[in-house]
Structures are given as C-alpha cells and as structure tokens.
Amino acid sequence: MTSKIAILGSEGFVGSSLCAALSSSEHEIVPVTRDSFAAAGAAGPYDIVINAACPGRRFWAEQNPAADFEETVVKTARILHTWRLGKLVQISSMSARAQLDTAYGRHRAAAEALCVPDRDLVVRLGPMYGDHTHKGSLFDMLRHDPVFASGESRQSFAPVRWCGEWVAANLTQVGLREVGARTWITLRQVRDALDSRSEFVKETVDDQFPSVGMVGEDWPRAEDVIPWLRERAEQRSS
C-alpha cells in the first residue's frame, strides 16, 4: 500500500540518504527542509513522518545548549503535537544512551521520550561516514587535526547510505532500534592505519556501538571505514 512519507532534514547527511533510499519506492515522498517546514506541516496528513532534522553537531550543542534543545526536543514535540501523522520515525543517536553527561546526549534522550512506544520507531544511529560531510573525528584525522576524544573510544562506523537503506526497509517496526556496524574499531586504530599525526586531546572515552542483541549478522564492519578513508587521503594528496 502506498504511504505518504515526509522526510524532515531532507538535505542533511542522513536525510539525503533516506531520500535516496526511498526514491524508487511506491511511496509518495515529501522532502522537507527548514524553509518548507511550516508549509509541509500544514499540508498533511502523512502516514509516516521521518524526523532526520535534529542537529548532529555535538560541539555546537555543548556551546549552545538552549538552541540545541529548541532544535531537538521542542521541534520534535511540535511535530508530534501539531502535524497530522500516523507514525513518527525519530532519527536519534547512540549518544542518547552513551553520552547522558552531555547536553547533546540528554536532549536526544528527551526527544526520544516524547515518542509513542507502541506506534513510533526510534532509530539510534552510530558514527557514520559518506561523501556528503567533511566534519567529525574521521576528517580531523585526515587533516592531522586534534581529535577531541580518547583514542580508546570504540566506534561502529557504518556507511550513511547503508543506514538510510536500513531505515527505509524497516519503517513498519516500532520501539527502539540501535543501528550501526556489527563490529567496532578504536579511534586510535583508525588514526594509526592512516598514519595520521592527530593527537587525542581528551581523556573522555566516547564508545558508540549498538547494544548487544540489536546487531544484525549481515550489517557492515567498522573496519571497512579504513579503505574508504585511505581513498580520501589519496584524493587529498593528489
């Protein structure tokens, strides 16, 4: 059956991957940007609203906690209470479990708590990589810049394209899912594999990998980020 699906944050890192994953489906897809948010909200009803619009900037969130709360928690509440929708798919972060000592993690956990457990789907994504972003620890290491985390941090890097395809294929699920690579790799292992000169300037360990019992056997391996990064390093040096 054809569904009308709104994708908020459609031009963002995750949102654009969701649009690509759903573009060939039989569903009616409505991309929503910041500029079209109000008009799209009035144009419902929607069978499914996918909220991929929560900011992904951790450092910015710590420097601007009130603004991050507005963009994450308040906007999620506005969608739930003013948009006509059958179901919300909330794109969240593993930080909602692993980083409750930060504004970024607490705000994503608070936004998750607004969702209806037996109707909505919350997807916590782990660290991702893809061709449409140039920020984060991976690119810090490519540029030999300082990395603001412990080198012992274990992370389940997964391709953003694969994450978008997973969400697109699992829209009928409800409850909470954590999605990422089936293995993890430390930031230090990534740095050393790249021969990067980056230094780890924080002692805080930032572990980001799916909880036991949520991992699929056919999910990607975190180690696959290494050849992807080496290819980008060669492009930068050529």
Per DSSP, the three-state class of 129 is strand
Reported as a pLDDT band with limits 50, 70 and 90, residue 234 is confident
* Helix, strand, coil percent content, the chain, rounded in steps of 5: 40, 20, 40
The string of pLDDT tens digits covering residues 42-84 is: 998 999 999 999 998 888 999 999 999 999 999 999 999 999 9
* pLDDT higher than threshold 90 for residue 210: yes
User: CA nearest 126: which of 89, 163, 180?
Assistant: 180
* pLDDT higher than threshold 80 for residue 238: no
Amino acid identity at 67: A
The answer to whether 9 and 15 have CB atoms below 8 angstroms apart is yes
Q: Where are the domains of the chain?
A: 4-237
First and final C-alpha spacing in the chain: 49
pTM, rounded to two decimals: 0.94
Assigned fold of 4-237: Rossmann fold (3.40.50)
* pLDDT higher than threshold 70 for residue 124: yes
Structure tokens at 203: 């002692």
What 3 state SS string does 190-208 have?
Answer: HHHHHCCCCCECCCCCCCE
Residue by residue, DSSP assigns 71-92 as IIIIHHHHHHHHS-BS-EEEEE
* pLDDT higher than threshold 90 for residue 154: yes
**Region class of 3: left (phi > 0), else alpha (psi between -120 and 50), else beta:** beta
pLDDT value, residue 31: 96
Reported as a pLDDT band with limits 50, 70 and 90, residue 176 is very high
Q: What is the mean pLDDT of residues 145-155?
A: 95
User: CA nearest 21: which of 163, 200, 225, 216?
Assistant: 163
What are the phi and psi torsion angles at 158 (to 5°)?
A: -135, 150
